Amino acid sequence: MSTKKILVTGGAGFIGANFVRYTAEHRPEYRITVLDALTYAGNKDNLAGLDGVELVVGDVCDRDLVDRLTADTDVVTHFAAESHVDNSLYDPEPFVRTNVHGTFTLLEAVRRHGKRLHHISTDEVFGDLPVGSTDLFTENSPHNPSSPYSATKSGSDMLVRAWARSYGVHATISNCANNYGPYQHPEKFIPRQVTNLLTGERPRVYGDGTNVREWTHVDDHNAAVHTILDHGTAGETYLIGSSAERSNREIVELILELLGHQADAYDHVADRPGHDLRYANDSSKLRALGWRPRYGDLRQGLADTIAWYRDNQPWWQTHKTIAETKYAEIGR
C-alpha cells in the first residue's frame, strides 16, 4: 500500500471532521493534515482520539501557510467555509473573505505546486426549485444564489471552474444537498430542534415549514468525495444527493415522534428572508461512478443522530447557548 498525503481544510468542522474520521477508518493509505482556523464552528475535540492526524491551526486565506502545506501534500480537499445562511444574512463579510478569498488562495497554491484539489460546495448555488414539482438540479443548472452564503459559494465554484479551464488545475467540484449526522453545530436545523427538545424547549420552524430539503447523511457525502477523488474527471462537477426529500415540518414531526412528543408540539417563528423553497439533486452522474447512499432510511439515520446528541451534551451545550443568544437577537 503506497501512502498518500491529504490536506483537509475545515477538517475540524462538521463535514470535514466526519471526513477525517471516515478517511482514517476506511482509507488507511492517507496521511491526514487538517488546516482549520477553529472559528466558532471548528472544534479540535471533533478530532479527538485520532492518532496520526496533524492539526494545523491557521487561516485558509494565509498565503504563506497555505503554500507550505500544499507543497507538502498530494491531494487537497477544501471544506473550510463560513457555512450558515442565517449568519450570512446578519454579517456577510466573513463569508466573502473565507469562501471567496480562501478558495482563491488555495487555488493559487495548487496551481503553483501542481496538486489535485477537490472543492466541496452546495446545491444552494443553483437557487431553489418550486415546492410540489419534480424538477431536479443538474450539473448544468445555472447558478442563481439567494443568500450571501450561497453567492460566495457560487463565487468559489466559479473560481475553481476558471482555474481548471484556464490554468489546467486538476480540480473537481461537488455540490451536495443538506447533510445531517454527528458533530453538526447546534445552529443548524436538525441539531437545533433535537437540542431544543433535549433541553426542554420547543422546536422552532421558520415560516409555514413547507420548505423542502434533500437530506444526505454526512458519511454518504464523504464516501462520495472519495469516489470523486478516485474516479472523477478533472474540471468536472458532480451533484450529491440521497433523494430523501422532506419538508421542514415533516422533519420536525419525525424528531418529535422519535423523542416521544406530540407531533404538533412545535412553534412557527419569523421566516428567513429570501428563504429557498426546495432543493433536490440529480446525482446520476456521480452514481455512474459507483456511488450509492448507504443511509437509505432517513428515520434510522435521524434516530442514530438523536442518540449521538443525547449522549454528547457536553460537546454541544456551550455552542448551543451562544447560538440561541444570536437567534434571540434576530427574533428566530
Q: Which does 79 bind (CB under 5 to 8 A by kind): ligand NAD, ligand TDX, none?
A: ligand NAD
Dihedral sign from CA coordinates of 139, 145, 146, 149: positive
Member of 77, 178, 216, 281 binding ligand TDX (CB under 6 A) = 178
Which residues have a Cβ under 8 Å from the Cβ of 85 and sit 6 or more positions away?
124, 147, 149, 150, 272
Q: How far apart are CA 302 and CA 19, in angstroms?
A: 19
Active site residue 124: yes
Strand partners, 55: 34
Output the smallest distance, CB 262 to ligand NAD, in A.
28
Q: How far apart are CA 214 and CA 280, in angstroms?
A: 6
Q: How far apart are CA 35 and CA 57, in angstroms?
A: 6
CB-wise, 39 or 261, nearer to ligand NAD?
39
Helix, strand, coil shares of the chain, percent, nearest 5, are: 45, 15, 40
Q: Fill in the per-residue mask, 100 to 139: x = in contact with ligand TDX (CB under 6 A), - = not in contact.
A: ----------------------x-x---------------
Output the smallest distance, CB 93 to ligand NAD, in A.
12
Q: Which residues are at the interface with ligand NAD (CB under 6 A)?
A: 9-10, 12-16, 36-39, 41-42, 59-61, 79-83, 98, 102, 120, 122, 153, 176, 178-179, 185
Catalytic residue among 36, 82, 123, 245: 123
Active site residue 208: no
CB-wise, 53 or 100, nearer to ligand TDX?
100
Active site residue 245: no
Dihedral sign from CA coordinates of 42, 185, 209, 207: negative
Q: How far apart are CA 254 and CA 154, in angstroms?
A: 32
Output the smallest distance, CB 86 to ligand TDX, in A.
6
Residue ranges binding ligand TDX (CB under 6 A): 83-85, 122, 124, 178, 188-189, 192, 204-206, 211, 213, 248, 272
- Residues designated catalytic: 123-124, 149
